[in-house]
Amino acid sequence: MLTWLRTALFAVAATLSLLAHTPILLAGRFLPFERRYRLLFSFGRSILWLARVITGIRHEVEGLEHLDPNGGNLVLAKHQSMWETMFLPRTLRFPAFVLKRELLRIPVFGQGLKAIEPVAIDRSAGRKALAEILRQGSAALADGRDVVLFPEGTRRLPGMRPNYRIGGAMLAERSRARVIPMAVDSGCLWPKKGFRMRPGTIHVVFGPPIETEGRTAAEINDATQEWIEATQEALYNRHGCPNHVSDLP
């Protein structure tokens, strides 16, 4: 019962935070890019703080040494929760998220999202969407930004059968960027489905760079999936996962 009450309180506090940040989300887009990015993601920092204080969700990170602090990292990440979209901007260098264009149409939030210059694609456009990932993603990497792409395309429940699409691997093949796989068990505490947020620690693991030299996109994709899925299972086995699909009714 207490976790349900904490989750409800978090939902109210997060809504109030969004309302409080609305002037920032609207006006921040007129600032220079780096200042704009930091200012706009003050909302994300507030959400992480509220999650920690109200619901007891903390986090631990391994493998930061694998990231190039000067940027240009292509992070291919597991996606289980809204949590990692709030966490990664405070960890990476002005990351450009590959996301569906419909998110930019959300009132206020979408305008703030557009101002941080994501790689926005129309997922129904097929080859054109892939071409946009390659074009915009390569440009962001060349500018020294990190790029974040979720190979499975959407949030997945812990333990679901993996479905890695090849777009991120094709960007890796095209750009020859430093490819960093990322595992995270956020869905164990803050799930895609359901209202309940459980207290505990979210674990993030950045892996060593995936070798791309001499590899095809399919081989890069397979290597990425193999590392992430093996690391996910290790996290579940080590820390447990109450929302794992094998435990759901």
Number of domains in the chain: 1
Classify residue 42: in a domain, yes or no: no
* Cβ atoms < 10 Å from Cβ of 220: 22
State pTM to two decimals.
0.93
Q: Is residue 87 predicted with pLDDT exceeding 80?
A: yes
Classify residue 21: in a domain, yes or no: no
Which pLDDT tens digit goes with each residue over 109-141? 788 888 899 999 988 778 899 999 999 999 999
Q: Is 178 helix (H, G, I), strand (E, B) or coil?
A: strand
Classify residue 6: in a domain, yes or no: no
Which pLDDT tens digit goes with each residue over 188-233? 999 887 678 999 999 999 999 999 999 999 999 999 999 999 999 9
Classify residue 27: in a domain, yes or no: no
Least confident of 27-41, 71-85, 169-183: 27-41
Q: How far apart are CA 63 and CA 112, in angstroms?
A: 30
End-to-end alpha carbon distance in the chain: 20
CATH number, position 106: 3.40.1130.10
Q: What is the pLDDT of residue 248?
A: 59
Q: How confident is the model at residue 247 (pLDDT cuts 50, 70, 90)?
A: low
Q: How confident is the model at residue 142 (pLDDT cuts 50, 70, 90)?
A: very high
Classify residue 79: in a domain, yes or no: yes
SS (H, E, C) 91-147: HCCCCEEEEEHHHHHCCCHHHHHHHCCCEEECHHHCHHHHHHHHHHHHHHHHCCCCE
Classify residue 34: in a domain, yes or no: no
Beta bridge partners of 119: 98
Q: What is the pLDDT of residue 95?
A: 97
Q: How far apart are CA 218 and CA 194, in angstroms?
A: 34
Classify residue 243: in a domain, yes or no: yes
Classify residue 39: in a domain, yes or no: no
Domain limits for position 196 = 58-247
Helix (H) or strand (E) holding 164: none
